[in-house]
Chain A
Amino acid sequence: MRRLLIYFLFGITGTVAVFFLFIWTGTLNPLHSSPNAHEKSAALPLGKAIYEAKCTTCHGDDGKGDGRAAALLNPKPRDFTSGMYKIRTTESGSIPTDEDLARAITNGLHGSAMPDWGPFLSGDSLKAIVAYIKSFSPRFEQEKPRVAHISAPVPSSPPSTADGKRVYAKLQCASCHGTDGKGTGATATELFDDWGDDIVAANLTEPWTFKGGSTARDIYLRFRTGMNGTPMPSYLGSASEKEMWDLANYVVSLARKPVWAMDAEALKTFYAAADAEAKKNPVQRGKYLVEAQCVGCHSGYSADGKVLPEFKLAGGLVFDLYPFGKFTSFNLTSDKETGLGNWTDEEIKRAITQGIQRDGSRLLPFPMPWTSIAQMPDDDVNAIIAYLRTVPPIHNKVPMPGKPNFFSYMWGKFEMLILKKQTPGYIYPMKDFTKEAE
């Protein structure tokens, strides 16, 4: 009987030893369990290494434009597998040249989250990343880029600009871009790209947001070649070369001064007009505010840290703030049962500016930053509420902050106050969340 016990203990010790051996050698390290982990070494092709370090956050591991942050970005990151690119010097429908891709990477795409990689990637690195991005789509092997012939530019002059204005009317640019060029045409709110994502018509008065650059030549190229995958067609055939150059000159003339070039008087009028516009259109203002400060935490994440587009604004990010307990970001959609559907405007306002929950209990000053939202002007808070009312309902039940375990809470306080120990917080997706997503 005693011998049996000894064997039994031997077995346990052996298993534990093997287990730790695995951990020690890294075979079982949970932090390195991603499928590509074992491939990482200096032997990786340079393009792939750069891509995985710099690009996957937005464009995804497979180049489908579905990286961790993709769902929250406007416009959405490019899907490289389609081989379709907006900013090209090639004919409509054609694949871009290597130089087009290199230029986009070096200069970035203004008005989007694509930064200028010029300071970090050049020479062989740039060539390698262009080659790797091309490898996502078979089109680059099957087709050759058809470079567009660029005609001699028509220099900018008042007559050319006036002609351009007539072309603007003739080609019905105003139906999307608006008569004033501010991107508020009749159909501007109903524009979708080939992937079904909402897109906006460019505001032609803000040239610093033009993705492909703001010189007359850049603008001419956008009409001449079209923007593949978007409702912006090529006007080759419907307009003469001169008309396209005139139009480019006209669009250049629409530009207004950016705030960094304005003097005090101009800034005052500009911001007064912007505030009046925001007051007139609170839902649009609210959308801008929510997308620039709320969605990051109030969205559902997959277990590997990717924002799930189907749970945008539906809550589900857990903040484990020892010793205060766990806090899950709330469902902000208009779902009646699990979201804000049954909340009154007053209740929402009280929660986000004073940290008072629906049942009257108080929120801590973190992780929900109601202390910061309390700094906002009243109009902006109302605009946020107005926009949240329009968010389509998504059913996602989120646990309310509960009381933490009494003893761990007290021990945590003791550590923080008496022992002065730094206690880090943890952030991770709601546990059963991915199951729910399936």
Chain B
Amino acid sequence: MKKFLKWTAIVAGCLVVIGFLAFLYFIPPLTMIPQTAFTQPLAQALEAPLKSIKDPAEKILAERGKMIVGRSACSDCHTPQGSQGPNYNEFLAGGGMKDEFKLYGSVISRNLTPDKETGIGARTDAEIIRVLRSGVSHDGRVMTPVYMPWFDFSNLTDEDKYAVVVYLRHVKPVRHKIPEYSSHSDFEILSETAGDYAEHQRAH
């Protein structure tokens, strides 16, 4: 009897370990979830900002912008992660992607909602379009290719870029501060040097 108990305990112990490993291996089973579980919430989140638009012309433009934002996978990086996939209550509020690049350092996706302090609320249309077109941020810093694929979006027509801006202006503002990205690339170090040097030159 004692021997039986002992073996049962051992087997139970093994099962617990195996079960735990299996839990880790299969959960979340991303490739077993139906496709619509990914696409439907995204479609709803994309649709939400359009509802509050009154001006008919602006609505048509925003619809166009929605199509571009949707197909360009902006949300994949720019929506924060929740416990069950992307947190669409904070659609496009940034921080969803932290990438480390063997060449360029680490970057964190920015807040694209129209929040005045932490998002793009204080940015002009021209500043946002400049990012899409040339990868130059509002402070004149150049974004190295790969992380933010501006060199793709640069090929959008000016009118399509404008439609994207109109859409982003109507996304629900979320206060979400994103830390500045750390970069150890030569590129960024130089960028700072040049800026400081230019300031110095102007002052004298």
Chain A interface residues toward B at CB < 8 A: 31-32, 34, 36-37, 40-42, 44, 46, 49-50, 52-54, 56-57, 68-69, 72-74, 108, 110-111, 113-117, 119-125, 208-209, 258-260, 262-264, 267-268, 271, 288-289, 291-297, 301, 304-305, 307, 317, 354-355, 361-366, 369, 371-377, 380, 406, 409-410, 413-414, 417, 422, 424-428
Q: Do the beta carbons of B31 and A57 come within 8 Å of each other?
A: no
- Main DSSP-derived SS at the B contact region: helix
Which residues of the partner chain B approach A293 to less than 8 Å between Cβ atoms? 71-73, 149, 152-153
A259-B163, A374-B35 as given contacts; A50 in contact with B198, CB under 8 Å:
yes
- 20 A-B interface contacts by CB (under 8 A): A42-B193, A52-B194, A53-B194, A54-B140, A72-B155, A73-B155, A113-B151, A259-B163, A260-B61, A288-B155, A289-B71, A292-B160, A293-B149, A304-B103, A369-B76, A371-B35, A372-B75, A376-B71, A422-B98, A427-B147
Q: Enumerate chain B residues within 8 angstroms of A50, measured Cβ to Cβ.
A: 194, 198
Q: Are B38 and A365 in contact, with the CB atoms below 8 A?
A: yes
Q: Which of B4-12, B115-123, B167-175, B180-188 contacts A (4 or more CB under 8 A)?
A: B180-188
Residues of chain B with a CB closer than 8 A to A305's CB: 103-104, 144-146
B194 touches A54 (CB 8 A): yes
In the complex, the answer to whether A296 meets B39 with C-beta atoms within 8 Å is no
The answer to whether the Cβ of B1 comes within 8 Å of any Cβ in the partner chain is: no
Q: Does B176 contact A (CB under 8 A)?
A: no
Contact in complex: A427, B99 (CB < 8 Å): yes
Least Cβ–Cβ distance between B122 and chain A, in angstroms: 15
Q: Are B155 and A291 interface neighbours, CB within 8 A?
A: yes
Nearest CB in chain B to that of A122: its residue: B202
Q: Are A124 and B202 in contact (CB under 8 A)?
A: yes
* A355 / chain B contacts, CB cutoff of 8 Å: 35
Instruction: Tell me the complex Cα distance, A44–B201, Å.
Output: 13
Q: Which residues of B contact A376 (CB under 8 A)?
A: 67, 70-71
B194 touches A364 (CB 8 A): no
Q: Does B179 contact A (CB under 8 A)?
A: no
Contact A120/B140 with A304-B103, A417-B27 known, Cβ cut-off 8 Å: yes
Interface string of B134-168 (1 = CB under 8 A from A): 11100010101111010111111111101100000
B31 to chain A, nearest CB (A): 4
A192 CA to B191 CA, complexed, in Å: 35
**Which B residues are CB-close (under 8 A) to A44?**
193
Q: Once the chains bind, are B162 and A260 in contact (CB under 8 Å)? A: yes
A426 interface neighbour in B21, B100, B190, Cβ under 8 Å = B100
